[in-house]
Amino acid sequence: MKRTLVSLLSLLALTSLFTITSCQKDATGDGTQFRATMEGCAARDGKTILDETFLHLNWVEGDQVAIYGTAGRGLYSATPQTPATTAVFDNVSGTTGDGPFRAFYPASLTSDGATVTLPATQTYEVNSIHEFPMYAESATNQLAFKNLCGALRLILVEANTNITSISITANTAICGDYAVSYVNDVPYLSYTGNGSNTVTMNFSTPLSIGDTGRYFYFALPAFDSLKSITITTDDGRYCTKTVKSNVCINVQRSEMTTIVFLDNDMDFVEPLPEGALPGLFSVSLTQQVRFSKGNLQYQASTDTWRFAENQYDYVGYTNSNISASYSGWIDLFGWGTGNNPTLASTNYFDDYRTFVDWGENTISNGGSETSAWRTLSKDEWAYLLWARNNASGKYAVGNVNDVHGMILLPDSWVLPEGCTFNAGCPSGGAQDWSHNTYTLAQWAAMEAAGAIFLPTAGDRVGTNTSMSVRYPLSNNGYYWTSTPGDDSDDSDIGAYYLFIDYYECLIDNDYSRVSGRSVRLVQDNN
């Protein structure tokens, strides 16, 4: 047995082995009856017994296993008995035939006898693990079940908190489909797909934690590194604890890892509005805003507005298909076309429109409420870029996922481990976007810390789209403000916009309300 002490931010983690105790096989059994033992068995009452260090498993009446033989799949159920380490299983349905046999617990673990499916959601049981996955191979009716997973025990100690879910995120897939193989009489899982890096335990009714704490047990396949744990409360608040890069918390087969959250670790925060990113940005002395999760997009055939799924997403050349019946998505709009998004004039002098904010519309993944979002004004953009505290150190150009654009940092900023940030624009070099370069994994950390990315998505005049010759990447970005022009002879048809390229960003005005340009909406933090 070994014990390892690690820290997850300010929490305590204790790792200890299961008891792995050999159990004697019973020599009896016939074609419709199997006798089964299990790894980690102990002569104790109850299905699963957990104490400070060990997990002890027992068979109980009603346990069902799926057994595959030469004739196919049979379903077998444990006969009535006191909880015990060895159980007799009688046939319930199906025909197994002769060996060799492959057996699975619970029976729902597999549908084909070749691949097991570990669920993305798990069931809470008080001081127990629900249907801990096990597997056995045998040439006879004597089955010695071995654990397929390890256990993660989460101990929460927090007064006056009711939780509705707990999510565990690892560095690799911890749910989905797995192939099972035996090496030296030990089962191994190999991920084959249809899963994710996160497993969630949901509670049908809010579960009280209280001062004395509560234990939660997850059955998880072996993984190298825990990334984060997110706890959600019944009032919508959440707490995410992220593992530091120099701390390794893992799960191994037939081992139990224990993590303790004390009351001062549970720093719950208010949930983000739907479609909003976490960073707060000052746009005046008295107002902060949150940016939307991506650039605004519109589908004319269904009259649907949405935000791009990722900050670096943009439509590109197919904006030239703009029309009232187009079934694709567009994301370059004439100025103030919140009420007429497919307007595509090519005559600079025929449009004297009054500004209608795109944020007045219902946005499908932005809360589905009217007037929940808005467009920043010229002065607000100017304050954010050049007047807020340490403004010059909080914007830069760069690449995210091989897409060019501008990066903005929130008012409060802590650079994530493993990332760098070089403020401003490079001093020289033709079309040099390498000032900051992020992989998807690095950008995920930057975004979680509050960073914003505005891709250089080009512009459109009529049905012609001006893009970089380095398709599909663009070298120029244009983002509308809500401010009409006021400093030229054509002020009645001009409007202000934010301009981005590889060596500068500025706020400009010209006689181009008809030009199709990007829109990134914000929401006031009231």
* Single-letter amino acid, residue 407: I
Residue 348: band (very low, low, confident or very high) from pLDDT cuts 50, 70, 90? low
Domain membership flag for residue 332: yes
Q: Are 219 and 328 found together in one domain?
A: no
Q: Which residues contact 182 (CB under 8 A, 6 or more apart)?
A: 137, 188
User: Would you state the pLDDT for residue 54?
Assistant: 53
Structure tokens belonging to residue 256: 């139990």
Question: For all residues of the chain together, what is the average pLDDT?
Answer: 83
Q: What is the DSSP string of 8-37?
A: ETTEEEEEEEPP----PPP---BTTEEEEE
How far apart CA 258 and CA 442 sit, in angstroms, is 28
Mean pLDDT, residues 21-45 taken together: 54
Tens digits of residue pLDDT in 270-285:
677 889 998 899 999 9
Chosen domain end from 237, 265, 293: 265
Residue spans of beta strands (DSSP E) within 344-475: 395-400, 403-408, 437-438, 452-455, 459-461, 464-466
Q: Which residues contact 224 (CB under 8 A, 6 or more apart)?
A: 170, 171, 172, 248, 250
- Number of C-beta neighbours around residue 444 at 10 A: 12
Residue 12: band (very low, low, confident or very high) from pLDDT cuts 50, 70, 90? very low
Q: Are 333 and 254 found together in one domain?
A: no
User: Would you state the pLDDT for residue 19?
Assistant: 31
How far apart CA 80 and CA 58 sit, in angstroms, is 13
Domain membership flag for residue 270: no
Mean pLDDT, residues 62-80 taken together: 92
How far apart CA 30 and CA 89 sit, in angstroms, is 11
Answer for the pair 409, 451: CB distance below 8 angstroms, yes or no. Answer: yes
Answer for the pair 214, 156: CB distance below 8 angstroms, yes or no. Answer: yes
Q: For the purposes of burial, counting CB atoms within 10 Å of the CB of 427, is it exposed (0-12), middle (13-18) or buried (19 or more)?
A: exposed
Q: Are 251 and 286 found together in one domain?
A: no
Pick from 75, 73, 148: nearest CA to 112: 73
How far apart CA 144 and CA 138 sit, in angstroms, is 8
Q: Are 249 and 285 found together in one domain?
A: no
Mapping DSSP onto H, E and C, the string for 323-370 reads CCCCCCCECCECCCECCCCCCCCCCCCCCCCCCECHHHCCECCCCCCC
How far apart CA 106 and CA 110 sit, in angstroms, is 8
Q: Are 471 and 499 found together in one domain?
A: yes
User: What percent of the chain is predicted at pLDDT more than 70?
Assistant: 83
Mean pLDDT, residues 451-473 taken together: 72
pLDDT exceeds 60 at position 28 = no
Pick from 510, 482, 507: nearest CA to 494: 510
Pick from 511, 520, 455: nearest CA to 482: 520
- Top mean-pLDDT range of 203-212, 303-312, 442-451, 497-506: 303-312
How far apart CA 323 and CA 73 sit, in angstroms, is 57
Domain membership flag for residue 272: no
Tens digits of residue pLDDT in 124-135:
988 778 889 999
How far apart CA 217 and CA 122 sit, in angstroms, is 9
pLDDT exceeds 70 at position 41 = no
Q: Are 308 and 252 found together in one domain?
A: no
Domain membership flag for residue 518: yes
Q: What is the count of structural domains for the chain?
A: 2
Q: Which residues contact 82 (CB under 8 A, 6 or more apart)?
A: 45
Q: Are 166 and 294 found together in one domain?
A: no
Q: For the purposes of burial, counting CB atoms within 10 Å of the CB of 213, is it exposed (0-12), middle (13-18) or buried (19 or more)?
A: middle
Mean pLDDT, residues 104-130 taken together: 91
User: What percent of the chain is predicted at pLDDT more than 90?
Assistant: 50
Chosen domain end from 224, 240, 265: 265
- Top mean-pLDDT range of 340-354, 371-385, 413-427: 371-385
How far apart CA 178 and CA 171 sit, in angstroms, is 17
The two most distant CA atoms of the chain are separated, in Å, by 99
Residue spans of beta strands (DSSP E) within 107-264: 115-118, 121-122, 124-125, 128-129, 134-138, 142-147, 150-170, 176-183, 186-193, 198-220, 226-233, 238-242, 255-261
User: Would you state the pLDDT for residue 428?
Assistant: 57
Answer for the pair 301, 325: CB distance below 8 angstroms, yes or no. Answer: yes
The one-character DSSP state at 457 is -
Pick from 380, 414, 408: nearest CA to 285: 380
Place of tokens 């597997």: 135
Structure tokens belonging to residue 398: 């760069």
Domain membership flag for residue 469: yes
Q: Are 318 and 245 found together in one domain?
A: no
pLDDT exceeds 90 at position 52 = no
Q: Are 206 and 329 found together in one domain?
A: no
Domain membership flag for residue 447: yes
Q: Are 76 and 165 found together in one domain?
A: yes
With residue 443 as reference, give the H or E element that holds it: helix 440-448
User: Would you state the pLDDT for residue 429?
Assistant: 52
User: Would you state the pLDDT for residue 4?
Assistant: 30
Mean pLDDT, residues 161-186 taken together: 91
Q: Are 220 and 348 found together in one domain?
A: no
User: Would you state the pLDDT for residue 209?
Assistant: 84
Domain membership flag for residue 276: no
pLDDT exceeds 80 at position 152 = yes
Backbone phi and psi for residue 88, each to the nearest 5 degrees, phi listed first? -95, 135
Q: For the stretch 182-207, what's the b/e string if a residue is b when 16 or more beta carbons lie within 10 angstroms of its beta carbon?
A: eeeeebbbebeeebebbbbbebeeeb
Chosen domain end from 265, 296, 318: 265
How far apart CA 122 and CA 374 sit, in angstroms, is 40
pLDDT exceeds 70 at position 470 = no
User: Would you state the pLDDT for residue 278?
Assistant: 84
Residue 264: band (very low, low, confident or very high) from pLDDT cuts 50, 70, 90? low
Structure tokens belonging to residue 311: 């900050």
Q: Are 430 and 330 found together in one domain?
A: yes
- Number of C-beta neighbours around residue 127 at 10 A: 13
Answer for the pair 4, 111: CB distance below 8 angstroms, yes or no. Answer: no
Domain membership flag for residue 294: yes
User: Would you state the pLDDT for residue 8?
Assistant: 36
> Is the bond leading into 106 cis (omega within 30 degrees of zero)?
yes
Q: Which domain holds residue 457?
A: 281-524
